Structures are given as C-alpha cells and as structure tokens.
Structure 1
Amino acid sequence: MAQGQLEMAVKQYRFGEPYCQQAEGSLAWSAAQLESPIGALQLGTVVSDFTCQESVVTLKGGQKTAQVSSEFNLSLQPDNRYQAQAWFKPEAEFPESLKEQLSWLPQPDGQGRYPFNQQGQL
C-alpha cells in the first residue's frame, strides 16, 4: 500500500492528441511511504519533473532518506508504449525485514544500487 500526499504543478500545457502537444511541470509525493506485509519503507519526499513533446511524456525524479535512495526515468509514447529505468539503494536504516528480501534480487552494482529496467505497452 502507498501512502502520502501527491501534488502536481503544471507550468505550461498545450493540448494535443492523445496526451499533449507540449507540457512542463513537476510532481511531489510528500510523506511518501510504502507498506507491505513484511515491512514499511519511508521514502520521504519523492520529487520529479515531467515534460511532454508531441505526446511523448517523460518523468525524471528521485528521493533520499536514511532508509533508501532512488532515481527513476519514465517515458510514455503516444501509442501507449512505455519504458522505465530506475534504481534503489538501501541506506543505513533500511528495515531488517526488507533487507532479508534483497537476496531474491540480482546483485547490486558497484555503488550498491539495485537497477530495474522495464518496457512494455499499457
């Protein structure tokens, strides 16, 4: 389950099928928290910027707390294809109950980051 407050600020927006001809703005997820049956993760504030050019939407952002840090890049094409690139890094106060689950993931990179890449169609 995800908790927190999501705020969106739109600096400019020009409509165009299917999403937008041009847009720019930011998203802020404050007091962000993810909960699962095995533990909760405090994300703090997740901040991202978004743009749109000819209905290609991109979102780039990240966050850092004493538990975890992360960055992400997302893109959505007009035909609903998407691509997501992200990483997260457990920090000093990463919950023990979640630390045990890291063994199920591929090995982290040389900086201790666990990368994720996903693409597909909505």
Structure 2
Amino acid sequence: MKNNTLSNNLEMLEKISIVQTITTGLGEFEFSVPRCILEQIEELLYELDVQPEIVPQYSENNIFLQYERDDDQSVLEFTIERSGVMSVYTNYEPIEDLSYEEIDLDIDKINEIIAKFYK
C-alpha cells in the first residue's frame, strides 16, 4: 500500500482543478472535472479511514480513488465520474461481488469496503 496522506491528496485535487490539455500515447485530451465534483471528493477524503491514491483518467474526465494491496495484484477503485456517479471495482476475491457496482457517497459503506479490502 502506498503511503498517501490527506495533504498530498488535497494538493492533487488542486492540480486537477486546473483545466489541462494532456498528451498521452492515446492522443490529446482536455481534462476538466466540475468544481462541485472536486468538492465532493475533498469532503470524502476528510472522512476516509485510509487515504487512496488519486488517479485522473484523462480520456474520460473521471477520477479514480485507488487502493492496492501489498501483493500488487489486488486493486480497489472508486470511480467518480464527471456526472457525479460513483462506482466501485475490485478484483479482490473476498469482495469481488462489488465489481462495477454503482454506490452512493455513503462514507460508512465506503470505509467498510476499504476495511474488507485490507483484511
């Protein structure tokens, strides 16, 4: 697990808040996430028991809140779409039934999923 801190994640959100044109191997993308979505993510970060790695998905203008286990093979991702929809994906067998499930921004449920992932 990477050692992500709240302050590092808040800095990342600040960087993401600036509209950027990103060039990747897949082409050039304008990355822009609505301010209200960034504010929701910021509020969520303050309530999480374990801080994620924040990963912008440039081609879709989405943001991943990503967790990895020490085995480097198990991943838990919360995707926050530009529309505000949140979905969860994991390939971790004990909670694999969550793959691609849409969830509410329910902090208790999110923290419960994270705790199961790290058990």
TM bucket normalised to smaller: 0.3 to 0.5
User: Greater helix percent: which structure?
Assistant: 2
Larger Rg: 1
Structure with more strand by fraction: 1
**What is the TM-score of this pair, normalised by structure 2?**
0.36
